[in-house]
Amino acid sequence: MAAINLTTQKIGANEIAVLTFDLPGEKVNKLSSPVMKELQAHLEKLKTSSYKMVLIKSAKPRIFIAGADIEEIRQLTTKDQVVAAVSGGQSIMNMLEDLPMPTMALVNGACAGGGCELILSCDYRIASEDSSTRIGLPETQLGILPGFGGCIRMPRVVGLQAALDVILAGKLLNAKKALKIGLVDYVVHPNLLEGFANQQIEKIIADGAKKRRKVFKPRGLVAKLLEGVLSGVVFSKAKEGVLKATKGHYPAPLAALDVIKKTYGMSDRAKAMSIELAHFAECAVTDISKNLIHVFYLTEMVKKQTGVSDSNIKGKPVKHLGVLGAGTMGGGIAYVAADKGVDVRVKDISHDANAKALKHARDLWAKLMKKKVIDNYQFTQKMSLVSTTVDFSGFKSIDLTVEAIVENMDIKKKVIAQTAAEMRNDAIIVTNTSSLSVNEMSAGHPRPQYFAGMHFFSPVHKMPLVEVIRGEKSSDETIATVFELAKKMGKMPVVVKDGPGFLVNRLLLPYMAEAAFLLSEGMSIEKVDRAYVHQFGMPMGPFELMDSVGLDVCVKVLNIFKKAYPDRVEMPALMEKLEKNKNRMGQKTNLGFYKYNDGRKGEVDQSIYTELGLGNPTNPYSDQECIERGVFAMVNECCLALDQDRIVETPNEVDLAMIMGTGFPPFRGGLTKYADSVGANYIKTQLDKYSSERKANRLKPSSKLVERASKKAKFYN
Ligand SMILES: NC(=O)c1ccc[n+]([C@@H]2O[C@H](COP(=O)([O-])OP(=O)(O)OC[C@H]3O[C@@H](n4cnc5c(N)ncnc54)[C@H](O)[C@@H]3O)[C@@H](O)[C@H]2O)c1
What distance in angstroms lies between residue 403's CA and the mean position of ligand 1's atoms? 8
Pairing state of beta strands 103-107 and 400-403? unpaired
The amino acid at residue 248 is G
State the pLDDT at residue 674. Answer: 98
What distance in angstroms lies between residue 324's CA and the mean position of ligand 1's atoms? 8
State the pLDDT at residue 695. Answer: 95
Place 218 in a pLDDT band, splitting at 50, 70 and 90.
confident
Nearest alpha carbon, ligand 1 atom 2? 458
With beta carbons less than 8 A apart as the criterion, state whether 85 and 48 touch. no
In whole angstroms, what is the distance from residue 691 CA to residue 700 CA? Answer: 6
Nearest alpha carbon, ligand 1 atom 39? 327
Residue 228 in this model has a pLDDT that exceeds 80 = no
Q: Taking the model in full, what pTM does it have?
A: 0.93
Q: Where are the alpha helices (DSSP H) in 581-715?
A: 607-611, 623-639, 651-662, 671-678, 680-693, 703-711
Rounded to an integer, the average pLDDT of 382-403 is 98
What distance in angstroms lies between residue 327's CA and the mean position of ligand 1's atoms? 5
CA atoms within 13 Å, Cβ hemisphere of 399 = 16
The amino acid at residue 433 is T
User: Among 99, 86, 77, 102, which residue's Cα sits nearest to residue 31?
Assistant: 86
In whole angstroms, what is the distance from residue 495 CA to residue 483 CA? Answer: 8
User: Among 402, 491, 514, which residue's Cα sits nearest to residue 452?
Assistant: 402
Nearest alpha carbon, ligand 1 atom 40? 407
**Which of 406, 430, 496 has most ligand 1 atoms within 8 Å of its beta carbon, as the pocket-test mutant?**
406
The dihedral over CA atoms of 374, 380, 384, 386, expressed in degrees to the nearest 10, equals 50
What distance in angstroms lies between residue 332's CA and the mean position of ligand 1's atoms? 11
- What is the 3-state composition of the chain as percent helix, strand, coil, each rounded to the nearest 5? 55, 15, 30
Q: In a 3-state reduction of DSSP, which class is residue 167?
A: helix
Residue-wise pLDDT for 405-444, tens only, equals: 999 999 999 999 999 999 999 999 999 999 999 999 999 9
The amino acid at residue 337 is A
Q: In a 3-state reduction of DSSP, which class is residue 456?
A: strand
Residue 548 in this model has a pLDDT that exceeds 80 = yes
**DSSP character string of 303-372:** HH--SSS-TT--PPP--EEEEE--SHHHHHHHHHHHHTT-EEEEE-S-HHHHHHHHHHHHHHHHHHHHTT
State the pLDDT at residue 717. Answer: 86
Residue-wise pLDDT for 322-377, tens only, equals: 999 999 999 999 999 999 999 999 999 999 999 999 999 999 999 999 998 899 99
State the pLDDT at residue 624. Answer: 98
Closest atom of ligand 1 to 431 CA is: 41
State the pLDDT at residue 450. Answer: 98
**Which of 335, 405, 437 has most ligand 1 atoms within 8 Å of its beta carbon, as the pocket-test mutant?**
405
In whole angstroms, what is the distance from residue 231 CA to residue 452 CA? Answer: 57
Nearest alpha carbon, ligand 1 atom 33? 348
Q: Which residues share a beta bridge with 9?
A: 16
Class of residue 71 by CB neighbours under 10 A (exposed 0-12, middle 13-18, buried 19+)? exposed
Q: H/E element holding 402?
A: strand 400-403
What distance in angstroms lies between residue 457's CA and the mean position of ligand 1's atoms? 12
Nearest alpha carbon, ligand 1 atom 20? 327
Is the preceding omega at residue 459 within 30 degrees of 0, hence cis? yes
Closest atom of ligand 1 to 330 CA is: 16
What distance in angstroms lies between residue 546's CA and the mean position of ligand 1's atoms? 19
Nearest alpha carbon, ligand 1 atom 15? 328
Closest atom of ligand 1 to 356 CA is: 39
Q: Where are the alpha helices (DSSP H) in 405-550?
A: 409-422, 438-441, 476-488, 504-520, 525-530, 542-549
What distance in angstroms lies between residue 330's CA and the mean position of ligand 1's atoms? 7
In whole angstroms, what is the distance from residue 215 CA to residue 213 CA? Answer: 6
With beta carbons less than 8 A apart as the criterion, state whether 699 and 687 touch. yes
Closest atom of ligand 1 to 329 CA is: 16
In whole angstroms, what is the distance from residue 59 CA to residue 600 CA? Answer: 49
Closest atom of ligand 1 to 332 CA is: 16
The amino acid at residue 171 is K
Find the residues whose C-beta lies inside 6 A of ligand 1: 324-330, 347-350, 353, 404-407, 415, 432-434, 456, 458
State the pLDDT at residue 213. Answer: 79
User: Among 630, 609, 617, which residue's Cα sits nearest to residue 698?
Assistant: 630
Question: What are the C-alpha distances in Å from 581 to residues 584, 611, 612?
Answer: 5, 10, 11
Report the mean per-residue pLDDT for the chain. 95
Question: Is the Cα torsion angle 223, 225, 231, 234 positive or negative in sign?
Answer: negative
Place 638 in a pLDDT band, splitting at 50, 70 and 90.
very high
Nearest alpha carbon, ligand 1 atom 36? 325
Question: Is the Cα torsion angle 671, 677, 680, 686 positive or negative in sign?
Answer: negative
State the pLDDT at residue 428. Answer: 98
Whats the size of the chain, residue-wise? Answer: 717
With beta carbons less than 8 A apart as the criterion, state whether 458 and 469 touch. no
Residue 108 in this model has a pLDDT that exceeds 80 = yes
Place 219 in a pLDDT band, splitting at 50, 70 and 90.
confident
Nearest alpha carbon, ligand 1 atom 3? 458
Q: Which residues share a beta bridge with 106?
A: 126
User: Among 613, 607, 577, which residue's Cα sits nearest to residue 593?
Assistant: 607
Residues with catalytic function: 455
Closest atom of ligand 1 to 324 CA is: 33
What distance in angstroms lies between residue 637's CA and the mean position of ligand 1's atoms? 28
What distance in angstroms lies between residue 596's CA and the mean position of ligand 1's atoms? 23
The amino acid at residue 603 is E
Lowest mean pLDDT among 216-220, 234-238, 498-502, 520-524: 216-220
Lowest mean pLDDT among 475-479, 543-547, 577-581: 577-581
Nearest alpha carbon, ligand 1 atom 25? 325
In whole angstroms, what is the distance from residue 653 CA to residue 495 CA? Answer: 8
Place 594 in a pLDDT band, splitting at 50, 70 and 90.
very high
What distance in angstroms lies between residue 229's CA and the mean position of ligand 1's atoms? 57
State the pLDDT at residue 607. Answer: 95
Q: In a 3-state reduction of DSSP, which class is residue 404?
A: coil
Q: In a 3-state reduction of DSSP, which class is residue 259?
A: helix
What distance in angstroms lies between residue 404's CA and the mean position of ligand 1's atoms? 5
Residue 216 in this model has a pLDDT that exceeds 80 = no
What distance in angstroms lies between residue 485's CA and the mean position of ligand 1's atoms? 20
Place 553 in a pLDDT band, splitting at 50, 70 and 90.
confident
**Which of 323, 324, 329 has most ligand 1 atoms within 8 Å of its beta carbon, as the pocket-test mutant?**
329
Pairing state of beta strands 451-456 and 428-431? parallel
Q: In a 3-state reduction of DSSP, which class is residue 101?
A: coil
At residue 503's C-alpha, the angle toward residues 502 and 504, to 5°, is 115
Nearest alpha carbon, ligand 1 atom 21? 327
Residue 268 in this model has a pLDDT that exceeds 80 = yes
In whole angstroms, what is the distance from residue 388 CA to residue 358 CA? Answer: 8
Closest atom of ligand 1 to 331 CA is: 16
Closest atom of ligand 1 to 353 CA is: 39
The amino acid at residue 473 is K
Class of residue 499 by CB neighbours under 10 A (exposed 0-12, middle 13-18, buried 19+)? middle
Distance of CA 61 to the CA centre of its chain: 25
In whole angstroms, what is the distance from residue 494 CA to residue 464 CA? Answer: 11
User: Among 313, 314, 332, 312, which residue's Cα sits nearest to residue 323?
Assistant: 332
Place 319 in a pLDDT band, splitting at 50, 70 and 90.
very high
In whole angstroms, what is the distance from residue 532 CA to residue 630 CA? Answer: 9
Closest atom of ligand 1 to 350 CA is: 37
Rounded to an integer, the average pLDDT of 226-245 is 88
State the pLDDT at residue 59. Answer: 97
Rounded to an integer, the average pLDDT of 28-46 is 97
